[in-house]
Chains A and B, each alone.
Chain A
Amino acid sequence: MAPVLFVGFALLLVLSSVMVILHKNPVTSALFLVSAFCSLAGIYLLLHAEFLGMVQVIVYAGAIMVLFLFVIMYLNLGRDVEGGLALALRRGFGYLVGLGLLGIALTWFARGWSAGPAAPPPESPAPGNTQAIGMLLYSRYLFPFEITSVVLLVAMVGVIVIARGRRGGIPEAPDMPEAIPDTPADRGEAPPATGAAPPAAAAPKRSVEGS
């Protein structure tokens, strides 16, 4: 049963990954990426990494890709219409690099490739692997975990500063009415401005404008 499912998920994964780069419509490409993430989650499930598989769907397919789609729709990207020499050069370079990578991968596979993992995956260890991941994350991998959190926090603060900075910049133009920065749409569009950091990050910006 499992090999059949694995081949199914793997085929789906490869096909949708290829379609992500081949399809001209950005929204369709994004949807194929969602399908790729979901197939990857299926492969995780087959490897008894249930927690990882579900988190893959929740975080990548369910949250990140929705934001991607959001941005793509918002920008209303049409089909890729640019042409000419620049595009041809870029395409040619891309094909070269891709072929090179494919060659490396094929030589690796040719050296030691077998259908499926060398050893059968252990049968669902202990009560669940969620505990196992938690124990590892908060003991051996605590430092990388904390570093990642800090990086994410920095990114969040950066986004808020950029977003608030642009909005704060509006009153500098003399003919702009005061009310614009406070429309409901503005407030609604900046939901992430909830952490402890934004007021502190935004405050210096305001004082700069005042001076």
Chain B
Amino acid sequence: MIAHLAALPGVLRDPTVQFALWAFVKIFIILNVMLGIVSYMIYAERKIAGHMQARVGPNRVGPFGLLQPIADVLKLFFKEEFIPDEANKVVYHIAPMLAVIPALVTFSVIPFGPGALTVTDVNVGLLVFLAMSSLGVYAITLAGWSSNNKYALLGGLRSSAQMISYELAMGLSTIGVLLIAGSLSMADIVNAQRHVWMVVWQPHAFLLFMICALAETNRAPFDLPEAEAELVAGFHTEYSSMKFGLFFLGEFMNVIAISCIAVTLFLGGWNGPGPAALGIVWFLIKLAFLLFFFIWVRWTFPRLRYDQLMHLGWKVLLPIALLNVVATAGVLWWVGNR
């Protein structure tokens, strides 16, 4: 190994360059694995929805319909690309990219397993996630505005209001965990749960976080921005082909990213019985459970009305989250000073 390093040209021996190269390798792997997970999450969603509605779901392409996601993506690629006449072209093109990028950046701070199985462990990991989820609003708002379509604009405005409202409650619901773990670094938060998962100390915060996660990712029952009965298709009414595909991808990436964060914060991350090498397996099992939860909720609950949504966010979730911060801090202070 050392001889290997000595043979490398000088630039490659620079630790920062090596770090950057490793990060590129990890990002490449994560990107491709996540694309695979997204495709098969869509397959799982359709299968589960089928079973819940006493249908079969996709079963034509390949054994058990397992090649269906590939067929779907190919179809999206070959669709005609359509741009509305009066659209603001530049913003119209940027919006779908903005839907995917923040979700992808979030994966850079998620510890999939102990040691090297995370792209980078920064000391403000959780804030990176919150920052990226707050930037995710732009994709939908701009898509709605630039399409020059009233349904799209209404969807975009709804979503910015919704995401700003639920971001606050979501951010506050994680503070209880931060207070107990005493760090913003994801690795430290996972290490703090080596014996007891945070969900045991903070079950209400976990519930709050999951409700806000549903709203933050625009999933049913909070999929108001694309309520098809009122808004045609909401913010992506005017998008077709792979641009629509990117919004779809962004939504599922967000669901996966937020589930990863929930696993890390509340369900012990990669902690589990057995050797440390099994960490990533535990992580993926917990992640799969949460992803199933997202699908389960979507096909079980009806959509909320818009004013109910705002009422829930500001008058129920936010006060509970604030109370939780005060109560957790109080209990920790009392325990510390006893």
Contacts and interface: CB of A to CB of B under 8 A. Distances in A.
Judge: A and B partners, yes or no.
Answer: yes
Given A63-B134, A184-B305, A191-B161, A27 B127 contact: no
Interface string A174-187: 00000000001101
A194 B165 CA distance: 12
Contacts of B16: 1
Nearest to A57: B131
Contact of B160 (A28, A31, A70): A70
A127 B127 contact: no
B262 interface: no
Interface of A: 1, 25, 27-28, 31, 34, 41, 50-51, 53-55, 57-58, 61-63, 66-67, 69-70, 73-74, 124, 127-130, 184-185, 187-188, 191-192, 194
List of 6 A-B pairs having minimum Cβ-Cβ separation, nearest first: A62-B134, A54-B127, A128-B123, A57-B131, A184-B307, A50-B124
B191 interface: no
Interface stretch (B47-55, B135-143, B203-211, B279-287): B135-143
A152 B289 CA distance: 42
B157 interface: yes
A41 to B, nearest CB: 8
Contacts of A27: 88, 91, 145
Interface string B62-101: 0000000000000000000000000010110000000000
A130 B307 contact: no
Interface size class of B (residues with CB under 8 A): 35 or more
A41 B285 CA distance: 35
A69 B91 CA distance: 13
A58 B131 contact: yes
Contacts of B315: 194
Contact of B137 (A53, A66, A192): A66
A128 B189 CA distance: 14
B258 interface: no
A73 B145 contact: yes
B257 to A, nearest CB: 16
B185 interface: yes
Contact of B310 (A67, A74, A129, A187): A187
18 contacts: A1-B17, A28-B90, A50-B124, A54-B128, A57-B131, A62-B134, A63-B134, A66-B137, A69-B142, A70-B160, A128-B183, A187-B307, A187-B310, A188-B306, A191-B161, A191-B313, A194-B315, A194-B318
A116 B16 CA distance: 19
Contacts of A31: 91, 142
Interface centre among B124, B171, B306 (most CB of A within 10 A): B124
A41 B20 CA distance: 20
Contacts of A130: 123-124, 184
